[in-house]
């Protein structure tokens, strides 16, 4: 790809502060306007036209802006884009905003990515008072960047925060913070078709607390990392084993929110399954041990004829944003979608099975093993899985018209 100079005006809703952990690093956004800035970090270049990264100042922090004009040559980070896996690649900036108990979040800042300090008695460390979110940014063919339904993540974080007795950023604050973080790390957004920039917002009780109680202080933090496929199989079918002894969630618990403890609870069964050659674990409900719930970090769908069934959201299953999107896409494609109790017997009799999630998007299931019996679903990617994957990813990447109004474009 050819390099093209970009004349850009940046307005960030929050100030950029180099972290004390990286005193020798200088922010590329802090050059005086008289300097011509060229990021010569690799031979990977993205063609961009004249653009404004965020023209209007945010109403949330109108005074926290950096608006000097400068000329910029936009290059990509010097990494092997063709070999991205799903692992942490340290990037340039992270976003941090704090709030006292009983207060509201107000002013955040971008800092150089690095370690953070926590008191040993922080609520997140002692009592697991924390949530996280996950969403992605994609680079379009014209170089602009797309976010996928970030307001849904902001809404879900608010629901989870209420359950975990934490204050939460407003949806508007959440979305603006995501935008700022992505733009500050835009050289890490993979080229079109090479992957995505995974965005990880965290909300945690960061203040010290000894007795069991809500933390006196909370931190909202966002970091990002370029990623490829979540499963090593890529879009190839994965192999699941049904777990009928250990359980991911219980009625009245926190399975329906994205609290951090939900994920530590699946590590034992997942590790044992992977040691036996399976890709992941599918959990059953803990009451009847008969109805499907979800995979370790994915929602599950069962296809029979023109009907696509998925477990209903009843408090033990995370309301996935990709799940919600696939349901709408499937209905728009003429499928009948049912949200209900889905028994393991239906799973074993299905024409096709697939998983959904932010990390995996859509992952076809090649086989299910239950009580020692293995059931396979064809020799390759199912027709329905491929169809829904194609429709959704083309929308996420800006390759098709967004008639759902789901994407947010960063110019």
The residues annotated as belonging to the active site are 258
135-139/145-148 β-pairing: antiparallel
244 touches 289 (CB < 8 A):
yes
Name the packing angle between helices 150-163 and 171-184 (round to 10°). 120
238 touches 280 (CB < 8 A):
yes
Reduced to 3 states, what is the DSSP secondary structure of residue 262?
helix
Length in residues, the chain: 411
Using alpha carbons only, give the angle 179, 144, 34 rounded to the nearest 5 degrees.
80
Write the CA distances from 249 to 126, 177, 367, integer angstroms: 21, 31, 24
DSSP code of residue 237: P
Strand order through the sheet with 69-73: 37-38, 69-73, 5-9, 51-52
> What is the separation of C-alpha 106 from the centre of its chain, rounded to a whole number of angstroms?
23
76 touches 46 (CB < 8 A):
yes
66 touches 53 (CB < 8 A):
no
d(CA 21, CA 23): 6
Q: Phi then psi for 233, rounded to 5 degrees?
A: -70, -15
d(CA 8, CA 144): 13
d(CA 92, CA 206): 23
């Amino acid at each position: 790809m050819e390099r093209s100079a970009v004349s850009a005006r940046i307005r960030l809703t929050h100030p950029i502060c180099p972290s004390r952990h990286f005193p020798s690093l200088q922010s590329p956004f802090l050059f005086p306007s008289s300097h011509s800035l060229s990021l010569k970090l690799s031979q990977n270049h993205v063609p961009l036209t004249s653009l404004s990264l965020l023209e209007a100042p945010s109403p949330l922090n109108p005074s926290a802006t950096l608006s000097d004009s400068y000329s910029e040559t936009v290059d990509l980070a010097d990494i092997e884009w063709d070999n991205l896996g799903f692992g942490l690649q340290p990037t340039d900036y992270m976003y941090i905003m704090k709030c006292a108990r009983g207060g509201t979040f107000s002013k955040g800042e971008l800092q150089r990515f690095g370690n953070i300090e926590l008191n040993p008695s922080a609520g997140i460390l002692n009592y697991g008072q924390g949530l996280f979110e996950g969403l992605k940014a994609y680079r379009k063919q014209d170089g602009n960047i797309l976010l996928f339904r970030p307001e849904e993540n902001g809404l879900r974080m608010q629901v989870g925060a209420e359950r975990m007795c934490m204050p939460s950023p407003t949806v508007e604050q959440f979305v603006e913070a995501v935008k700022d973080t992505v733009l500050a790390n835009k050289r890490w957004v993979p080229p079109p078709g090479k992957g995505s920039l995974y965005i990880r917002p965290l909300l945690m009780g960061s203040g010290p607390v000894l007795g069991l109680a809500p933390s006196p202080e909370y931190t909202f933090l966002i970091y990002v990392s370029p990623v490829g496929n979540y499963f090593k199989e890529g879009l190839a079918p994965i192999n699941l084993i049904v777990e009928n002894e250990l359980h991911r969630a219980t009625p009245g618990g926190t399975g329906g929110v994205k609290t951090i403890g939900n994920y530590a609870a699946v590590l034992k069964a997942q590790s044992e399954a992977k040691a036996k050659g399976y890709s992941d674990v599918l959990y059953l409900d803990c009451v009847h041990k008969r109805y499907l719930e979800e995979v370790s970090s994915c929602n599950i769908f069962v296809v029979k004829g023109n009907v696509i069934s998925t477990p209903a959201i009843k408090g033990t299953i995370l309301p996935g944003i990709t799940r919600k999107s696939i349901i709408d896409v499937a209905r728009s494609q003429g499928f009948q979608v049912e949200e209900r109790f889905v028994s393991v017997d239906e799973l074993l009799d299905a024409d096709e099975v697939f998983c959904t999630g932010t990390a995996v998007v859509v992952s076809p299931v090649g086989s299910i093993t239950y009580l020692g019996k293995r059931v396979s679903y064809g020799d390759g990617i199912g027709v329905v899985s491929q169809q829904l994957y194609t429709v959704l990813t083309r929308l996420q990447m800006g390759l098709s018209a967004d008639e759902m109004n789901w994407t947010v474009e960063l110019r």
